[in-house]
Structure 1
Amino acid sequence: MAELVTEPQFFESFDGACMAWHEIGEGRPVVLIHGLFSNAWTNWIRYGHAEAIAARGFRVIMPDLRAHGSSAAPHDLEAYPPDAPALDGLALLRHLDLRDYDLGGYSLGARTTVRMLVKGAAPRRVILAGMGLEGILDTQLRASHFRNILANLGQHARGTPEWLAEAFLKTTGGDPEALMQLLGTFVDTDRGQVEAIEQPVLVLAGAEDSDNGSHAALAELLQIAELREVPGSHMSAVTRPELGQAIADFLTA
């Protein structure tokens, strides 16, 4: 599929930071949030997912997380309070005056979606992709993994998960210092808060993906969940057209 490039638009977030988002399509709004070290273009646009969803009648809204893409990437600790990604997401909903919308994300984007729900976001439907239950209940395991990656750039053994993550970071041009600060914003969500989610949820992951724990356990805990797997691992599932197709099918069911 041909690459589709959209110019970023900008808004002022909860603390005045300049944050970016991208849009494709017209129709019902769906906000999709990318994963760590990625950006809206890489996660949603590059491999055709946004275009596939837009073709089904959706306005696909894709923010760049703080410290990613075209959004602000400050280095000072004060710019990264707990739950900053969720606060940025809520600020985008307010900026666009979205009241009837769908919401989801991949990996960190899925965790951010959960935190937005805890803080009052009220979408009609939810997509949690590339995320397992453990990655929501205990965020520090993954935070420690990525701190090690960022603290030891250039030293990871070829072919290891750490080396692959660093290689991905190089392709997206991420700012290691800003990303290190972002890791301190992760907040755990308890089982009761996950279980309290009332919306229908698509739990979607690569069949070989266990990076954030068990997606099956996450689906089992939720009140209304549809569990779908696509080919691939945590990194490769994003490149598969089945990912965008599964989201489009869920949103139009």
Structure 2
Amino acid sequence: MSEAHRISKGSFRASDGCALVWHEMGRGRPVILLHGLFSNANVNWIRFGTAARIVEQGYRVIMADLRAHGESSAPHDPACYPDDVLARDCEELIAHLGLSEFDLGGFSLGARTTVRAVVGGLRPDRVILGGMGLAGLAGWSGRRDFFLRAIDAYATARRGDDVWMAIQFMKTMKVDLVAARLLLGTFADTSPQALKAISMPTLVVCGADDEDNGSPCELVAALPDAKLATIPGTHMSSVTEPALGEAMAAFLGPPS
């Protein structure tokens, strides 16, 4: 492994005492990436080479393990799960690292968290929203209820049930069901009108067969300065595609 591709790890305490972990690779201008629901930084960004493709452009890629995911804490205290807690954690990570200029992106839950952080006032120079459509931001309740049903059926679901694949992924990732249920209640909807706050250049990148979070075309139309990159795959498989990292690296271009 080259020095540029060496992975390091850090941790810090959020304002409520929750221990949060991040992983990073490369040197240069910072790009912060947030993974999807029930995943982690390794699965979403490292294992299939997405982070490495961005590093090769000359970036420092910082990849958080979100609260209740990966190596970060998964507390069972409801007080640790206020509204928009993941956006707050993102802001606190950026403050902890002392970053003033950076790009920010995420996949699925990470894209939702990115949007909530920017709507809340965070100002990255550029934004990447992966695996996301307009309905995934403005109509979260349907997705939330699906995942709550998956948690409820964790031990009883049968092959062929609509929640079966989600449950298998949760089992593979050893998801803490108590923490996951608490976290699912923290996400707020974002109206199309509120998306006007995302005025910086934005890439929406989505699998050709992925409408789990609604239409990416509708999301692009609702954003002031966005373009769409369509890559192969479904919601689950698109993160394994080299095209994901290639699209993100092409959007970012060489650091100025």
What's the CA shift string for 1:7-48, capped at 9, x where partnerless? Answer: 531011131211000001011100000000000001000101
Letter matched to residue 53 of structure 2? A
Give the conservation status (yes or no) of the 8 Å contact 2:24–2:62: yes
Task: Name the CA distance, whole Å, in 1 between partners of 2:171 and 2:9.
Answer: 21
Task: Name the CA distance, whole Å, in 1 between partners of 2:112 and 2:8.
Answer: 26
Letter matched to residue 68 of structure 1? H
* Offset of residue 174 of structure 1: 1.6
Larger mean Cα displacement after TM superposition, 150-159 or 27-36: 150-159
Structure 2 match to 1:228: 229
Task: Name the CA distance, whole Å, in 2 between partners of 1:196 and 1:62.
Answer: 24
What's the CA shift string for 1:38-87, capped at 9, x where partnerless? Answer: 00001000101011111110100000010000111011111100001100
Task: Name the CA distance, whole Å, in 1 between partners of 2:7 and 2:157.
Answer: 34
Distance 1:242 1:161, change over 3 A: farther
Structure 1 match to 2:118: 117
1:114-153 equivalences in 2 (<5 Å): 114-153=115-154
Give the conservation status (yes or no) of the 8 Å contact 1:5–1:45: no
Letter matched to residue 229 of structure 1? T
Distance 1:157 1:5, change over 3 A: farther
Task: Name the CA distance, whole Å, in 1 between partners of 2:162 and 2:211.
Answer: 12
Structure 1 match to 2:205: 204
Give the conservation status (yes or no) of the 8 Å contact 2:132–2:206: yes
Structure 1 match to 2:53: 52
Task: Name the CA distance, whole Å, in 1 between partners of 2:7 and 2:57.
Answer: 19
Letter matched to residue 103 of structure 1? L
Task: Name the CA distance, whole Å, in 1 between partners of 2:167 and 2:9.
Answer: 25
* Offset of residue 157 of structure 1: 3.0
1:1-253 equivalences in 2 (<5 Å): 6-252=7-253
Give the conservation status (yes or no) of the 8 Å contact 1:8–1:70: no
Task: Name the CA distance, whole Å, in 2 between partners of 1:27 and 1:68.
Answer: 27
The two structures, once aligned, show a CA RMSD in angstroms of: 1.5
* Offset of residue 186 of structure 1: 0.7
* Offset of residue 171 of structure 1: 1.8
Secondary structure of the 1:32 match is strand
Larger mean Cα displacement after TM superposition, 211-220 or 189-198: 189-198
What's the CA shift string for 1:143-172, capped at 9, x where partnerless? Answer: 111000011103223144411111111222
Task: Name the CA distance, whole Å, in 2 between partners of 1:216 and 1:185.
Answer: 26
Give the conservation status (yes or no) of the 8 Å contact 2:6–2:26: no
What's the CA shift string for 1:172-191, capped at 9, x where partnerless? Answer: 22211111110011111121
Task: Name the CA distance, whole Å, in 2 between partners of 1:60 and 1:161.
Answer: 35
Give the conservation status (yes or no) of the 8 Å contact 2:8–2:25: no
Secondary structure of the 1:91 match is helix
* Offset of residue 97 of structure 1: 1.0
Secondary structure of the 1:90 match is helix
Task: Name the CA distance, whole Å, in 1 between partners of 2:182 and 2:197.
Answer: 30
What's the CA shift string for 1:111-147, capped at 9, x where partnerless? Answer: 0000000111111100000011011012111111100
Identity %: 50
TM-score normalised over the length of structure 2: 0.94
Secondary structure of the 1:38 match is coil
Give the count of matched residue pairs.
Answer: 251
